[in-house]
Amino acid sequence: MTTPLLEIKNLHAEVDGNEILNGVNLTINAGEVHSIMGPNGSGKSTLAQVLAGKDDYDVTEGQVLYKGKDLLDLDPNERACEGLFLAFQYPVEIPGVSSMQFLKAAVNAKREYHGLEELDGVELLRLFQEKAKVVNVNMEMVKRNVNEGFSGGEKKRFEIFQMAVLDSEMAILDETDSGLDIDALRIVSEGVNNMRDGKRGFLVITHYQRLLNHIVPDVVHVLVDGQIVKSGGIEVATELEEQGYAGWAEIETTTAS
């Protein structure tokens, strides 16, 4: 059996002494799309941030293997260079840094990490144009400063564009659907679907089933109070949509007792 792309084993994490992740187990193989659903405060975003390497969280127990390597041992930038990508829920605005300059730096940082020659301006531009087509974004966006003055939809599209440009192998989409209208949601989803090639892995974090109509996952997990309480096919999401999260919290209580 091949090594899974991402393996999360009994992951516990806390912030300021409050435990948020309470023993998460999750395995994603190459080519799979997994979705994590859960109520507010269940730890969805924390999981995403811990995987990306945000140092606000302390991992107190457990292990994360990425392509068989200890992910938690790597700096955030090393994780990115290894192909892990986090599409932020709230991408930060960075005045003064052009998106072009930012992407150039990111692409070449990854190439340098892998011992590859840096791309020159022409090659980069070609890359950007090609990827812009794949994920349906306008190149005009690249001329502006990173996320500065972007609408909510533009920010999310720019995240997907970066995912394509950086050719990520394991992408974590943290509530990429939040704040999007239906058209923006469709464009973002198409971008992700166009990236699905049987090799990459996706972890789609969302509060609503809506997104999963567009990006159809192989496995749906329900995260409640920092633990996955149920996993299954797309039908889990449908049930959840019909019953809400309250039911799942109860299930968790009953299983726990």
Partner 1 sequence: MTETTIDKPTDAYADTYANAFAAVVAHAEGNGTAPLNALRQAAFDDFARLGIPTTRHEDWRYTNLRKLANTAFTRPQTGAEVTADDIAPFMIAGLDAHLIVFVDGYYREDLSQIDEHPEGTAIGSIAEAYQKGCTGIGDYLGKQVDTANDALGALNTALMEDGVAVYLKAGKKIDKPVHVLSIATAHSNSAMTHPRNLIVAGEGAEATVIEHYVSLGGENYFNNTVTELFAADHAVVHHYMLEREAESATNISTLAIHQGERSDVHSHTVLLGGELVRNNVRPVMAGKDAHCLINGLFVGHGAQTLDNAMRVEHAAPNCRSRQFYKGIMNDQSHGVFTGRIIVQEDGQQTDAIQSNRNMLLSDDARMNARPQLEIYADDVRCTHGATTGQVDPEAVFYFRARGLPEDVARAMLIYAFAAEGFDRMQLVPVRALLADEMIAKLPMANKLSAEFNEEIKERLYRI
Binding site residues, partner 1, CB under 8 A: 52-54, 75-77, 79-81, 85-86, 88, 91-92, 94-98, 101-102, 104-106, 109-110, 113, 118, 146, 162, 166
Q: Which is nearer to partner 1, 80 or 137 (CB)?
A: 80
Question: Which CB atom, from 84 or from 224, has the smaller least distance to partner 1?
Answer: 84
Provide the 3-class DSSP secondary structure of residue 117. Answer: coil
The encoded tokens of residue 219 equal 């496995």
Q: What is the smallest separation between the CB atom of 155 and partner 1, expressed in angstroms? A: 11
Nearer to partner 1, 52 or 228 (CB): 52
- What distance in Å separates the CA atoms of residue 97 and residue 76, rounded to the nearest whole number? 20
* Minimum separation from the CB atom of position 148 to partner 1 (A): 10
- Rounded least distance, CB 241 to partner 1, Å: 31
Q: What is the rounded CA–CA span in Å between residue 64 and residue 97?
A: 33
- Listed in order, strand segments (DSSP E) in the chain are 6-15, 18-28, 33-37, 58-66, 69-70, 84-87, 170-174, 201-206, 219-224, 227-232
Output 34 or 79, the one with its CB closest to partner 1.
Answer: 79
- The two three-digit tokens of residue 155, written as one number: 């920010």
Q: Give min distance, CB of 107 to partner 1, in A.
A: 8
**Toward partner 1, which CB reaches closer, 102 or 208?**
102
SS3 of residue 231 by DSSP: strand
In terms of Cβ atoms closer than 10 Å to its own Cβ (0-12, 13-18, 19+), residue 129 is: exposed
39 or 191: whose CB is closer to partner 1?
Answer: 191
CA angle 199, 178, 195 (to 5 degrees): 20
State the minimum distance, in angstroms, from the CB of residue 78 to partner 1. Answer: 8
Pairing of strands 69-70, 58-66: antiparallel
Taking the complex as a whole, how short is the minimal distance between the CB of residue 91 and partner 1, in angstroms?
Answer: 7
Q: How far is the CB of 46 from partner 1 (least distance, A)?
A: 14
**Cβ distance to partner 1 smaller for residue 74 or 249:** 74
Contact 75, 41 (CB under 8 A): no
Report d(CA 49, CA 31) in Å as an integer.
22
For residues 212 and 192, give the distance between their C-alpha atoms in angstroms, rounded to a whole number. Answer: 12
